Structure 1
Amino acid sequence: MVSATPGFGGLPGAVAVSHLRVYDWPALDGAAGGTPHLHLTCSEAYVVTGGHGSVQTLTASGYGVTPLAPGTVAWFTPGTIHRLVNADGLRVTVLMQNSGLPEAGDAVMTLPPEYLTDPGTYAAATLVPADAPEEEQARFARDRRDLALEGYRALREADGPAPLAAFHRAAAALVRPRLAEWRERWRRGAEASAAATGDQLGRLEQGDVSHLADAVVRAERPFARGRFGMCGLLDVYEATERGVRPRRGGDAPDP
């Protein structure tokens, strides 16, 4: 029988959660907010808990803007370039697939093409040093946001689909060295959770209720607050990072 408790724990279905206070730093276009980026293997959802703003999205189908207000739940699938815009104190609870992989590597920011040539070049442009003073971390996070906005504007203004397709290929090449690690995270998390449900259904069909005696209750508070993430200041839960090697700063991918 499959274990009823997936290896990564966390929320049901190996979903992970973080709390996000979206940056209020204004950009050159006058909009305040975060760093545009995409995820390659994970869907993500925003549950708006305070303030107002929007999420700008760019896919092969075109550009869109989704208003965000308290009570809104907005989600998107892999390949969606997204940029959070903070109009007034925007706060979001983020729900993530695959035990929090979106904040543990499955993200590529929309830097200009010359920064996407190899993992080392990309990392040098996106690193937020975890041991730097807070003011310096903020500067690094803002600089990489502004750099990503350069590439984002070029993709939005492109004439035809070729630049976006080229960005997709470059993003895939950047994360390829980590795919085996991601597959293990998925196997121990989302796959194990789905297999456990199948196992429980099989037991119930046979009149076996023994797994109900293994019921547990868990509660968790953030173990880190105010991290400089891609979109804002993050409050992070342990289950989001369980099983992942320490990251080098912020929530930037570690190719």
Structure 2
Amino acid sequence: GLRNGEIWLAFQPQWDFRLNRISGAEALIRWNHPERGPIRPDEFILQAERAGRIDTLTYWVIEQAISAHAALSVGDPLFQMSINLSGQMVDKPSLVSNFSEIVRRRGIDARRLTVEVTETSGVQNRPAARHNLSQLRAMGFRLSIDDFGTGEASLSYLAELPSDELKLDRRFVSAITTCSRNRTIVSSTIGLAHALGQVVVAEGIEDEETFHMLRSMDCDHAQGYWIGRPVPLAELVSRCSETGRSISAAFRDC
């Protein structure tokens, strides 16, 4: 897939409630197979892990994400780029040295890159993974716990895994306008994260009412189709330029 140019990155914008503008994006890997069509990322990432190719895929993603950051950070040097690490990749002994070499060679400030690991990956129970993530954080990378609230040990993640950001899973966020229990869970989690010095990204924002409710809860960042769909780099750069990084109907239609 990589050799044939079938694998590419889409970028989904992230909204900053404090700055009232797009201030970051998540790099999302895609594969358009010539015969099977689009293949789900979780499917081909699992295949890459089983085939021993996850290293190659991961380092390709970070290289592409850094190139994208250069384009998206024009006019906004603090623009944040998020990339995902698979549970298997986090354990790799060479992870830290390779990431260090890449950011040195590319001349990017590691603080502009956020590494996302899912709560369900169980990295908090693996010493090698915890060590690697701590080392990346010491180098300046921001660490984000993705899909927070979906695993069996959410609070243990906060206690045992140093992180900078929590991403609230869409299953909680999407129902805050209709379910009082979800509102309480989301509001309380935001408060807890802030008390621990972390920022909160809410995923799955698909309507204006949810967006404004999250703002009232003092959420830090928002991501979802109402903000903008994942699109190729050139399209996101164009939309950011056209809208001044604000939300508009044109931006959401991208």
Q: Same fold (TM over 0.5)?
A: no
TM range (shorter): under 0.3
Greater C-alpha radius of gyration: 1
Higher relative contact order (CA 8 A, sep 6+): 1
